[in-house]
Chain A
Amino acid sequence: MPIQEKEVAWIEEPELNFWEQTFLPAVAGGLKVAVKHTVEQHSVTQQYPEEKPDLPLNYRGVHRLNRDEQGRVRCVACMMCATACPAHCISIVAEDASKDWPDRDKRPQSFVLDELRCIFCGMCEEACPCDAIELTSIYDLTGQTREQMTFDKEKLLSIYDQTKDNPRDPIRTHRGRLGCASELERQPLSATAPKPPDALRAKKS
């Protein structure tokens, strides 16, 4: 839907009052901060690696591919992440899934993510319509060869298995509701299609 004129709110910059126009309160405020930092003595340096950092919940680390209720890869190979990715680090080959999984049309045959190319912007996570790809809080990623840093489907699923119980990496997938890392409180209900009754699907096979 293109943005309608009525949906646009124009905001004017507030006018400065007399004191604001002199900039003196702002200068004083700046000096106050500088003096505070000079006087305060406690250290802010973290002793990494002995001490692990306390990362925010929306930290964007290594990716994982989530599993659905039946343990299958949740990804439907729609390639929205590969489209959104500004670094072109995701390559997916799709295949027909309807033979094995009657409730699904499409699944990834291969899903390869080049962690060296990735810039950890989180666009893939944002683009994903089925919350299959997520960024975890794993930040200390190392490898000895380029191949080791190219993660395939199995590797990305194993990161899910590794991190799913970590309270820092909550599974954000809740039908109709996104988790704490998202600013959205609710997804539009109309975007999710209900599954056809099992009786209808069973006829297919």
Chain B
Amino acid sequence: MATVTVNGKEVSLGEGERLNCIQAAKRAEIEVPHYCWHPAMSVVASCRMCLVEVGDKKPDGSVAMQPKVVPGCQTPVKDGTVIVTNSAKVKQAQAATLEYLLLNHPLDCPTCDQAGECFLQDYTFKFGHMQSRLMEPKELKPDKDYIGDQITLFTDRCVMCTRCVRFTREISGTGELQVINRGSHEEIDIFPGMPINNKLAGNVVDICPVGALCSKDFLYKQRVWWLKSADSVCPDCSTGCSIKVDQNNETVYRLKPRENPQAQGHFMCDDGRFGWKYIHSDQRLKQPEMSQGDRRVAVDWDTALTATRNALKDAATKNPKAVAAVFSPWMTVEEAYLLAKHLKSLSSDVRLALGPVRVEGQDDHYPKDVRGNAQEKIKFTIRAEKCPNRRGVELVLQHFQGSIINIGDILGDAAEGRIDTLYFVGGDPRGGLDESRAVALAKVKTLVVQDILPSPVSARAHIVLAGGSFAERDGTFVNHAGLAQGIKRSIRSPEEARPDGRILWDLSGRKGLFNATVFRHEIAREIPALAALTAELSCSGVLLK
């Protein structure tokens, strides 16, 4: 097995593993500062921040060091490589590089959105000089007026790492960004009239190590040190990108991708990144409601849940074949399990169906070539199936019922008056059943709708249960490839609305509080297909067999 020595600490490499000095040092828990290198993109070794001393251990045990410092990102390690990151020579090189990068940096940290998560700040603090020796005025380039709908470029803050340029060339393939001019006049720019508006554009903000590229959506909304993050999963397509939900005072301000090689890699698409605004919509269902005569009135949760529980129980005793439930592919595994278990415990004849799965167009693969066609080696996919947990809900339904009933069958039966009681779970913020299909539910005698936004279905409901969005719930989503990932609650639901897990927990008459982490145990024990769900899902999730 190959062994590499980093600052006297030995780390071993796996079989056939190809690492550079930065990665090898990271394995030894030693940080090598870097700007231009990014694990998902090609190496240019242009920022010179990762300079380290590298040498070889000879068979006789002596070490031969190279006479000068070399960029760690560009230097692969092999058996016997010796890396030194803490010598005076390396420290001097790091400090000198930082001093150079800061020469023409405006140091406008107070007004810069990146301050607090800026690598220029962090590295200067850890590796740099305290003061600048520059006596001449700084050469500051004017900011760009417009480079894209979501992106703004503060040219003066840029350190020319070219990560963004390589991203548009290698990951999105759209190639909007480029370096114009040469030498100290270098800047990032677009070709005139060709703005960066591709569906992965938001990622250049994340990969920018300084505050040059900022998101217009988030610009000046919050200082980043006020934000509290919770690990979650993007609910906008079945890729299930690992994300962080950043919130402060019960308001979500942004979503950021979280690195997860099992799910999507390092990035996320703009549909997901900016698609969460419905969470704070004024239209949200905020309290349970029940119809009294022609009107619908707000009631408290005890009343609504008791009414729902009794209605389901009575209907299941009288004629269980006329009771059905529609499960949403936005439900978590835990919620689907709770509802399915409760209804099947009333009667095994209750029918459980999978709700409308929204599919828009084709899977969108990146990188693209100049004509907009996907290239052969796919690095990112935005899936056509716009819901996060179809697979998870299907696994639960298959366990309880053997097969999955189509929503069409339920609607057909409902239109013919063969369904008396229907429990309908919505959750799709941009769709669900449209008016023409929801008409079929007119003959249902008791329609219970659990949703987050008003819809043609909730307009016909006799009982409305106000649920929670993905940022307000705990649970598990299973993506298109069978990767189960945990979502964590980051904010409270508006007003009286409750997270769906809690509603269903109370509905099924369980004691205590809904706790997804503990509850996963029960599901993993009972459903063999979900046996891989351990109590504490790791942040990268677990692949179901």
Contact = CB atoms under 8 A, between A and B. Distances in A.
Nearest to A127: B110
A17 to B, nearest CB: 42
Interface string B120-164: 000001101011101001101111010000000010100000000
Indicate the member of A190, A203, A204 with the most B CB atoms within 10 Å.
A190
Contacts of B143: 98, 105, 204
* Shortest 8 CB-CB contacts between residues of A and residues of B: A78-B110, A94-B220, A196-B140, A106-B111, A190-B132, A193-B106, A105-B111, A129-B110
Contacts of A8: none
Interface of A is mostly: loop
A53 to B, nearest CB: 36
A77 interface: yes
Contact of B107 (A1, A193, A200, A201): A193
Contacts of A80: 110
A2 B125 contact: yes
A73 interface: no
Given A2-B125, A201-B142, A190 B108 contact: no
Contacts of A77: 111, 220
Given A203-B142, A204-B143, A191 B107 contact: yes
Interface of A: 1-2, 76-80, 83, 94-96, 98, 104-106, 129-130, 188, 190-191, 193-194, 196, 200-201, 203-204
A94 B223 CA distance: 10
Contact of B142 (A1, A2, A200): A200
Contacts of B107: 190-191, 193
Nearest to A102: B142
A76 B110 contact: yes
A103 B141 CA distance: 13
Interface of B is mostly: loop
Contacts of B220: 77, 94-96, 106
Contacts of A1: 125, 128, 130
A78 B128 CA distance: 24
Nearest to B145: A204
A88 to B, nearest CB: 11
Interface string B161-194: 0000000000000000000000000000000000
Contacts of A95: 220
A96 B219 contact: yes
Given A1-B130, A83-B223, A193-B108, A204 B142 contact: yes
Interface string B278-310: 000000000000000000000000000000000
Contacts of A200: 140-142
Contacts of B156: 196
B455 to A, nearest CB: 33
Interface string B250-262: 0000000000000
Contact of B225 (A83, A104, A191): A83
A105 B56 CA distance: 50
A200 B221 CA distance: 27
A204 B109 CA distance: 21
Nearest to A201: B142
Given A1-B125, A1-B130, A193-B140, 13 more contacts: A77-B220, A78-B111, A80-B110, A94-B221, A98-B143, A104-B111, A105-B108, A105-B154, A129-B110, A130-B110, A190-B134, A194-B137, A200-B142
Nearest to A98: B143
Indicate the member of B107, B140, B142, B145 with the most A CB atoms within 10 Å.
B142
Nearest to B140: A196
18 contacts: A2-B125, A78-B109, A79-B223, A83-B225, A83-B226, A94-B220, A95-B220, A105-B154, A188-B131, A190-B107, A191-B107, A193-B108, A193-B138, A194-B138, A196-B142, A200-B141, A203-B142, A204-B142
